[in-house]
Chain A
Amino acid sequence: SQTIHQWPATLVQPVGSPLSLECTVEGTSNPNLYWYRQAAGRGLQLLFYSVGIGQISSEVPQNLSASRPQDRQFILSSKKLLLSDSGFYLCAWRRRPGNGRDTQYFGPGTRLTVL
């Protein structure tokens, strides 16, 4: 069976500090990978997605970047955090190649607070 891990679960960082969040998937190969953010009281916003190693697509301009150094590893980074980067960060995966019926499965999330 497939599992998706995210760490850390919670993180408190000062403004201007760097960030690195990690997501790994087990039990599948060549998945699509996604990073979402959920600000307090808001819906989920897609930040990045990746269809393969080294292939990153950004959905919105922001202070964050993503990388996929290995097939089942997806990293979200920032060089200098802003207060507005606070939120709940979720990683998701989807089987590829897939069709319209394949769904995305979400990790447990990382709650980031920037002070």
Chain B
Amino acid sequence: DAKTTQPTSMDCAEGRAANLPCNHSTISGNEYVYWYRQIHSQGPQYIIHGLKNNETNEMASLIITEDRKSSTLILPHATLRDTAVYYCIVRDTGTASKLTFGTGTRLQVTL
């Protein structure tokens, strides 16, 4: 599986956009980029995923560079409830489709 690199922590003011970067320079052509988040003491929550094109849903937007070596998760209007650890994962597309979690980015949203 391709590995990912994320900053350890980030801060964001409530109401502002939170931009969380992720590097995945060894990604292969058929591997998807997934984002999950984990609020303290809960199971990870799926946010969004993409292959090549930018994606948007009700939670966030995912911007993937043209060479696919990096991506950015954007929370357009961060709230205090978005405080969590955010994981960027490049997913194995084999039968088992395992997720390999790194240490993620701890996002702290402040007033």
Interface residues of A (CB under 8 A from B): 32, 34, 36, 42-46, 49, 51, 57, 59, 88, 90, 92, 94, 98-109, 111
Contact = CB atoms under 8 A, between A and B. Distances in A.
A43 B43 contact: no
Contacts of A94: 97
Interface of B: 30-32, 34, 41-46, 49, 51, 87, 91, 93, 95-104
A104 B43 contact: no
B42 A108 contact: yes
Given A51-B95, A102-B97, A43 B44 contact: no
Chain A binding surface, main DSSP class: strand
A57 B94 CA distance: 14
Contacts of B44: 44, 90, 106
Contacts, number: 61
B32 A46 contact: no
B43 A46 contact: no
Contacts of B95: 51
A100 B43 contact: no
Given A46-B100, A49-B98, A94-B97, A104 B87 contact: no
B103 A103 contact: no
Given A100-B51, A101-B32, 14 more contacts: A43-B87, A43-B102, A44-B99, A46-B100, A59-B98, A88-B41, A100-B30, A102-B97, A104-B46, A104-B99, A106-B43, A107-B43, A109-B43, A111-B41
B43 A108 contact: yes
A108 to B, nearest CB: 6
A49 B96 contact: yes
B45 A106 contact: yes
Given A100-B32, A106-B44, A46 B104 contact: no
A34 B44 CA distance: 13
A44 B46 CA distance: 14
13 contacts: A34-B99, A43-B104, A44-B99, A44-B101, A99-B93, A100-B51, A100-B97, A102-B97, A103-B49, A104-B97, A104-B99, A106-B44, A107-B43
